[in-house]
Structures are given as C-alpha cells and as structure tokens.
A and B are shown apart, each in its own frame.
Chain A
Amino acid sequence: MPAVSMTVNGTPVTADIDPRTLLVQFLREHLRLTGTHVGCDTSQCGACVVHVNGEAVKSCAMLAVQADGAEVLTIEGVAQGDTLHPMQEAFRDNHGLQCGFCTPGMIMTALDMVRRLGPVLDDHTIREELEGNLCRCTGYHNIVKSIAAGARAMAADDTPRRAAAE
C-alpha cells in the first residue's frame, strides 16, 4: 500500500493507505476528523470542502494519494482553541445554519471566497460562488448574510491564523 504524508491542520501525518482512499475518507476514517462531511459523494453538495495548499477542493473528488505532500486545512483547524473563527462566529450570529450538515463545507468555501475575492462581497457574488454547496434547510438567505458579515469581520480581525485566513 502506498504511503502518504501530508500536513493536516498544522500537524504532519503519515499513513499507508489503499490507493482508492478518497481524501475525505482519509480525513474522517483514518484521522477521525469527522467535521468534514460526506453529503452526496458525487461532488455536487460541497459538504466535504477542505483546503488543499490553500485552495478549496471537494475532498470526495480527490484521492488521498493526490494530496501527498500537501497542506490540508479542515473545519477543525479553523478556530483558535475555544475561540471561533470570525466566519464561524458570523454563521452563529446570523442563523446561518439549521441542521448544520452543510456548514463545514459552507465555511471552508466562504473562507476561500474571501481569499480570492476580498472581504467586500455582495449578495450576488456570494450566491454565484456558492454554486457548489447545497443546503437543504435554510434557503441560503442567512448563509449569504453570514458570509458577507464573516468576510467583513475577517477584514477587521488581526488574529494570526493558519493558511485559510491568509
């Protein structure tokens, strides 16, 4: 079995895995980081979005062996201890979640959005950018509000953070 090494949320990990192991399976089943969810397993829903080398990807559509040597950031690596990331806080403040299943993917997508497009995001842009993330509870309205507020809060936040917020 091939060996893979990667850095997940700042921690180096190495494992011998079956090559068909998806990145999301590796995260959830080998590392027990179950914050990254599997909704559809067909790269439609975005519940499995994580960052690989700073970019949002669907971890159900990537083999773990393809992430060999990469820096991976999951939802577990976003908060600083007990202090939520401003984007997480914004989802809480704005009722950006109901059941919460899609939320990890929404937040990882939102952070990627801010990285690429900056902290001032209008509703239309946010809705377009959420094309690959499905929510079956909220009707998206509060998710869009949360992301706009989270993006603004990130601009005002000067806490040093891992790759996602850089």
Chain B
Amino acid sequence: MYDFTYHKAASLDDAAKLLASAVDAKPIAGGQSLLPMMKFRLASPSDLVDLGTIAGLDRIEAEGGTLTLGAMCRHGAVCTSEVVQKTLPALAHLAGLIGDPAVRHRGTLGGSLANNDPTADYPAAAVSLGATIVTSKREIAAEDFFTGLFETALEPDEIVVAARFPVPEKAAYEKFRNPASRYAMVGVFVAKFPDVVRVAVTGAGASGVFRVPSFEEALSKDFSADALKGLSISTDGLAGDIHASAEYRAHLVGVMARRAVAAANG
C-alpha cells in the first residue's frame, strides 16, 4: 500500500478536525475492508484517522422499541450480544454471517455502513428496519444514507457514531453466499412492523441495496411466503458477472425473500 500519515483520534471532535485538515483523509475503524483496498491500491488516503482509540462508541442498548448500536460495535460482539439476540435476533444472525470469526473480531457496524459495499449485509438490515444513522453532525434515515456504489450521504469529515434500529414484530435475513468469497450473492432482509413491511436486498443491485415494493405490498396484505408466489423482480439495475447473471440474481431475490419470510414466521 501507499504511504500515509497515521493519527490516533482522541475524541470524535478530534477525529472530525483531523479529517477536515488533510487533503484525502479517511477514518479507519476495524479496517477489514479499507486495509485490503489499500493493499490493492484501490484506496490511497493521504491520512488515516484511527477511531479505535475513541472510548464509548461500542455501546449496545435496547430501550423503548429501539436497539441502538455504537458504530464501533464489532460484528462478533453484535452476534453474541444477549441484548441483540433478545431484541432483534435477525440482526445478531446477520452479524454472525459476516466474514469469518477473525474478521468479525475486527470489523465494525459503522465501517460496514460507511463503506456501503454493494454486497455487504448491514445495509440490507438498515434499510429494511428503517434505521436511523447517527453521525457526528446529524441523523440520516438509512434510505437517504446509502446513495450508490460505495457511496453514502456522509461528508468527508462526518463520522458514523451509531445506528438506531426500530424493533420489528418479525424479521429475518437470508443470505445466498458466493461460494468463493462468501459475500452475499443475494441477501434479503425482511421486517414486519405493525404498519409496514419492508424488504431490502443486498448483493444483487448494481448500485447497492434496494427495496422491493411489489414484495412489500404483497406481504403487507399477507405476511407469508405463499404471498410471494408468482412474483418476480426485473433485471433492470441488477449486477451480472462471472459468478451470476442478472437473471439468476433476480431469481435468487425471490427465493431468498420467501425463505426470509418463512424464517421470520419461525
């Protein structure tokens, strides 16, 4: 990787100042995506601002129908947290499907959200659950947060602090893994609230996470896997590559959605 200047942030304010003061500074959390990208020279920040030294960013709290996870919550901690397993088991399950045990010891929720990899798992949960992304400057609805391929609404000196997940009546995440990389070829997160059902898909979209309104409408009337029978999605905007064509991904979206609904109904 190319050389960079390394900074340890003492606080969020300090991190924001450091990010604003350098030409092309990037925050680093667990580094499980950023460091491999830097090794491939796909990213070459002038400065790295380490968030790992800021205390208090890894809280897990459930209160009044909302689960709040600090940005520095490691995937392994989310997966094994009793609070998460009790209030939002689908999210604990999702965290346990990310990477492998060693990666889950380092990788963070905030890093995954901010990176917005089109095959990452957390964006599907955030959109489906209608999460609010809390940053060092403001609060952003998940749907407005993810703006495109590896793109988010974050400004260069803005840092993800936490994510607030409304607790649904039912939810589940089903992931069809690319057998080599184990990233989501297609991942579908389904969440049922008293007034709304949201279905969010990762892995399939050429520009990242998206919702499936036709599935949501059918599930709002009848929250069962059978309600999705005969429904399919268009291949417009879907990714196609050597691993899977857009047609195959479109098919998998239906299959994974039905499995997710079945799992949510337990």
Q: CB distance B1 to A49 under 8 Å? A: no
Q: CB distance B4 to A19 under 8 Å? A: yes
Q: How far is the CB of A26 from chain B (nearest CB, A)?
A: 13
Name the residue of chain B whose CB is nearest to the CB of A48: B102
Contact partner, A57, options B3, B39, B105, Cβ 8 Å: B105
With an 8 A cutoff between CB atoms, is A58 at the interface?
Answer: yes
Q: In residues 118-148 of chain A, which contact B (Cβ within 8 Å)? A: 129, 131-133
Q: CB distance B101 to A56 under 8 Å? A: yes
Give chain A residues whose Cβ lies under 8 Å from the Cβ of B103.
43, 58, 61, 132
Please measure, in the bound complex, the distance between the C-alpha atom of A132 and the C-alpha atom of B181, giving whole angstroms: 10
Q: CB distance A56 to B3 under 8 Å? A: no
Contact partner, A20, options B4, B8, B32, Cβ 8 Å: B4
Contact partner, A131, options B1, B38, B101, Cβ 8 Å: B101
Q: In residues 7-33 of chain A, which contact B (Cβ within 8 Å)? A: 18-20, 22
Count residues of chain A with CB under 8 A from any CB of chain B.
28
Give chain B residues whose Cβ lies under 8 Å from the Cβ of A116.
80, 101
Q: CB distance A20 to B1 under 8 Å? A: yes
Q: CB distance A63 to B100 under 8 Å? A: no
With an 8 A cutoff between CB atoms, is A109 at the interface?
Answer: yes
Residues A63 and B35 in contact in the complex (CB < 8 Å), given A18-B3, A19-B6, A57-B106? yes
Q: CB distance B101 to A113 under 8 Å? A: yes
Interface string of A38-62 (1 = CB under 8 A from B): 0001110010010000011110011
Q: How far is the CB of A93 from chain B (nearest CB, A)?
A: 24
Q: CB distance B35 to A112 under 8 Å? A: no
Q: CB distance A61 to B100 under 8 Å? A: no
Q: CB distance A66 to B31 under 8 Å? A: yes
Residues A49 and B50 in contact in the complex (CB < 8 Å), given A20-B4, A61-B31, A63-B35? no
Name the residue of chain B whose CB is nearest to the CB of A68: B8
Q: CB distance A41 to B39 under 8 Å? A: yes
Name the residue of chain A whose CB is nearest to the CB of B96: A128
Contact partner, A65, options B1, B6, B39, Cβ 8 Å: B6
Q: How far is the CB of B122 from chain A (nearest CB, A)?
A: 18
Q: CB distance B102 to A49 under 8 Å? A: yes
Can you list 25 residue pairs at the A/B interface with Cβ under 8 Å? A18-B3, A19-B3, A20-B2, A20-B38, A41-B39, A43-B36, A46-B100, A55-B105, A57-B106, A58-B106, A61-B31, A61-B32, A61-B35, A63-B6, A63-B28, A65-B6, A65-B8, A66-B31, A66-B52, A109-B101, A116-B101, A129-B101, A131-B100, A131-B101, A132-B100
Report, nearest first, the 10 A-B pairs whose CB atoms are least far apart. A132-B100, A19-B6, A131-B100, A55-B105, A56-B102, A58-B102, A132-B102, A61-B35, A57-B102, A20-B1
**Supplied contacts A62-B35, A131-B101, A132-B102, 10 more A-B pairs, CB within 8 Å:** A19-B4, A20-B3, A22-B35, A43-B103, A46-B100, A46-B102, A55-B76, A56-B105, A63-B28, A68-B8
